[in-house]
Amino acid sequence: MPTVTFSSPKMRRDLTVYAPAGDRKSILGVAREHGVAIDCECQKGECGSCTVEVIHIGNKPPMAVHLTEKEKLTLLTSGKLARQEFEELELLDLAPRYRLACQYLLLDEDIVVKF
């Protein structure tokens, strides 16, 4: 069962929770379920207010590498992802370190979410 560790200066301490694979919940959904307050405005991947840093931990390679079209546009527009960096990551089939919490669907991988 994958774990998600939420880490932020806004929190008194880090919180690690289990996220059952197959639930198809977003980082934002799991955060809300456990009382973790990640900033968000639209919840549709359009505003970028829920941008988080995702760090993969454990022995498995990252699984959630593909960005939604909304996520690509929002991260590129906000400057969290440079066009050249995006093209290189896409070519190598790698995930960027910044993602939108409302768009990132959890898979069977252990991650740390910094915000």
| CATH code 3.40.640.10 for 3-114 | no
Average per-residue pLDDT for the chain: 92
- Which pLDDT value is given to residue 66? 83
Task: With H, G, I as helix, E, B as strand and everything else as coil, classify residue 100.
Answer: strand
What mean pLDDT do residues 53-67 have? Answer: 86
Q: Where are the alpha helices (DSSP H) in the chain?
A: 27-33, 69-78, 83-92
Rounded CA-CA distance 11/8 in Å is 5
* DSSP code, position 68: P
Place 1 in a pLDDT band, splitting at 50, 70 and 90.
Answer: confident
Torsion, CA 65, CA 105, CA 78, CA 45, rounded to 10 = 140
Handedness of CA 69, 73, 47, 26 (dihedral sign): positive
Q: In this model, does residue 65 exceed pLDDT 90?
A: no
Residue 57 confidence (pLDDT) above 90 = yes
